[in-house]
């Protein structure tokens, strides 16, 4: 199967180089793309800087693809992977214990993955994950935020093998005047959803981090799906 993916950047990238990039992105070192050209254009622009949606074709035959949105995984697996790569505030006892518990019970083996597909933890969605670890929102609220919002799916190239399967297929210019307002508008919408979610307050009977710890909820528990 051939797939078209885009990488938003402030410059042209004919072909990425394996092993380059930042190690502290959501899923570690890799080349971060999306199938959504609009998202790529939003991610590429600054307030006064045009960007590029670099387009690639990739043949997926023979690739090991780890899709975090499949039924095999939950939001807890997603947060555990973020904990390995992003810097969380673990200053509260609940957050510290939550990190330890998720590492022990929801850790995903990514060592053989050529590609990881999953949500992008931009500022708003990273905040959701942080609040969940601190016990401020429930798992249902976190899942609703992820599925009803528009954080955008990332298609992340992880292995030398998958870099070899990538083919450059041109680019589209994204003008700051058009795409930066869209980018800011999405952020405003996401923050409003977060505010509305927080107004719910504590919801009796829902699964919060403290219940997950106390009841030792595992990955096969139907309540986390």
Do the beta carbons of residue 165 and residue 157 sit within 8 Å? no
160, part of any domain = yes
What is the predicted pLDDT for the residue at 151? 55
Q: Supply angle C-alpha 126, 138, 101, rounded to 5.
A: 75
Residues 23 and 87: their CA atoms lie apart, in Å, by: 12
What is the predicted pLDDT for the residue at 215? 96
pTM confidence score: 0.89
Residues 151 and 145: their CA atoms lie apart, in Å, by: 9
What is the sign, positive or negative, of the torsion defined by CA atoms of 224, 98, 65, 183? positive
Mean pLDDT across the chain = 90
64, part of any domain = yes
What is the predicted pLDDT for the residue at 202? 76
**What is the spatial order of strands in the sheet that 65-67 belongs to?**
31-33, 153-157, 115-119, 65-67
What is the predicted pLDDT for the residue at 69? 87
14 C-beta neighbours (distance < 10 Å), count: 9
177, part of any domain = yes
**What is the span of the domain harbouring residue 71?**
2-89+108-121+143-200
What is the domain count for the chain?
1
What is the predicted pLDDT for the residue at 10? 94
Annotate 139-163 with b (16+ C-beta within 10 A) or e (fewer).
bbbbbbbbeebebbbbbbbbbeebb
What is the predicted pLDDT for the residue at 185? 83
102, part of any domain = no
217, part of any domain = no
Annotate 30-49 with b (16+ C-beta within 10 A) or e (fewer).
bbbbbebbbbbbbbbbeeee
Residues 224 and 212: their CA atoms lie apart, in Å, by: 10
215, part of any domain = no
User: What size, in residues, is the chain?
Assistant: 225
The stretches in the chain having pLDDT less than 50 are 149
219, part of any domain = no
38, part of any domain = yes
């Amino acid at each position: 199967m051939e797939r078209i993916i885009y990488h938003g950047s402030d410059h042209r990238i004919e072909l990425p180089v394996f092993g380059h990039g930042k190690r502290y992105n959501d899923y570690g070192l890799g080349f971060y793309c999306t199938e959504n050209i609009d998202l790529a254009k939003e991610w590429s622009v600054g307030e006064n800087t045009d960007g590029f949606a670099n387009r690639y074709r990739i043949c997926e035959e023979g690739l090991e693809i780890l899709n975090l949105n499949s039924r095999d995984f939950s939001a807890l697996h997603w947060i555990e992977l973020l904990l390995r790569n992003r810097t969380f505030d673990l200053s509260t006892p609940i957050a510290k214990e939550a990190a330890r518990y998720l590492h022990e019970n929801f850790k995903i083996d990514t060592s053989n993955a050529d590609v990881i597909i999953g949500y992008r933890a931009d500022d708003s969605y990273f905040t959701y994950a942080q609040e969940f670890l601190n016990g401020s929102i429930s798992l249902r609220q976190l899942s609703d935020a992820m599925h009803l919002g528009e954080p955008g799916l990332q298609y992340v190239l992880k292995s030398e093998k998958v870099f070899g399967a990538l083919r450059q297929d041109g680019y589209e210019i994204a003008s700051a005047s058009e795409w930066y307002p869209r980018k800011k508008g999405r952020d405003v919408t996401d923050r409003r959803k977060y505010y509305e979610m927080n107004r719910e307050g504590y919801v009796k009977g829902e699964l919060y981090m403290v219940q997950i710890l106390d009841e030792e909820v595992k990955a096969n528990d139907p309540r986390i799906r």
